[in-house]
Amino acid sequence: IAGITQAPTSQILAAGRRMTLRCTQDMRHNAMYWYRQDLGLGLRLIHYSNTAGTTGKGEVPDGYSVSRANTDDFPLTLASAVPSQTSVYFCASSGDNTGELFFGEGSRLTVL
Amino acid sequence: GQNIDQPTEMTATEGAIVQINCTYQTSGFNGLFWYQQHAGEAPTFLSYNVLDGLEEKGRFSSFLSRSKGYSYLLLKELQMKDSASYLCAVMDSNYQLIWGAGTKLIIKP
């Protein structure tokens, strides 16, 4: 693993299903983030974690949950997917309170 | 509310210079960042400004005026590979990044 890895790369999901997007980094960064990116909108923060064991809500947290059991992993769960959650999801990490984020390649999620 | 404004799309010619502007209104300021994002790929960090003035990094330069809530990204000697979206982001008082919607730069031969 080099940098930050997301899985799956792409997924089509039926509405109402549960889905977990995986994110793993090997840079030992304390801070990790989940964003969604929609056409015409800026990146919107869903949840973040400043360090292992802590998480916080971003701008658009509803319908999503996260956990941070260790430094490397930061999964994002959609408990019951809805079509409005169709988006490209980016996981990112950074050193403490820096704005230089390292992004994963993204997960394209389609909810039908 | 917090707001980042940048043009939706710009077109420029290979070999030329282009300036992408960004204006912001945020609760607090802890730095302004520019990212590059090629279509279908992840954003990558380009530059960081926290003090007023110009930061130069090769063909790319970034300028900041905190009193005016204004920044620009200047790209010189444009190459076809510079065709991408350029994202402006401001770190607010809570150390969270607020993102603009991005400027799609189209380079023509």
pLDDT tens digit sequence for A44-77: 999 999 999 999 999 999 999 999 999 999 999 9
Q: Per-residue pLDDT for B3 more than 80?
A: yes
Task: Tell how strand B70-75 and strand B60-65 pair up.
Answer: antiparallel
CA distance, residue A108 to nearest chain B CA (Å): 10
Mean of all residue pLDDT scores within chain B: 96
Q: Which of A42, A48, A103 sits opposite B99 (nearest CB)?
A: A42
The reply to whether B64 touches chain A by the CB within 8 Å rule is no
Assess contact for B97 and B33: CB atoms under 8 A: yes
pLDDT tens per residue, range B64-93: 999 999 999 999 999 999 999 999 999 999
The reply to whether B20 touches chain A by the CB within 8 Å rule is no
Q: Could you tell me the pLDDT band of residue A1, with boundaries at 50, 70 and 90?
A: low
Q: Which of A42, A44, A105 sits opposite B42 (nearest CB)?
A: A105
Q: Per-residue pLDDT for B1 more than 90?
A: no
* Cβ-Cβ contacts under 8 Å, B100 against chain A: 42
CB pair distance less than 8 Å for A105 and B99 = no
CA-nearest residue of chain B to A97? Answer: B95
Cα A102 to Cα B7, B34, B39, B95: the distances in Å are 24, 13, 17, 16
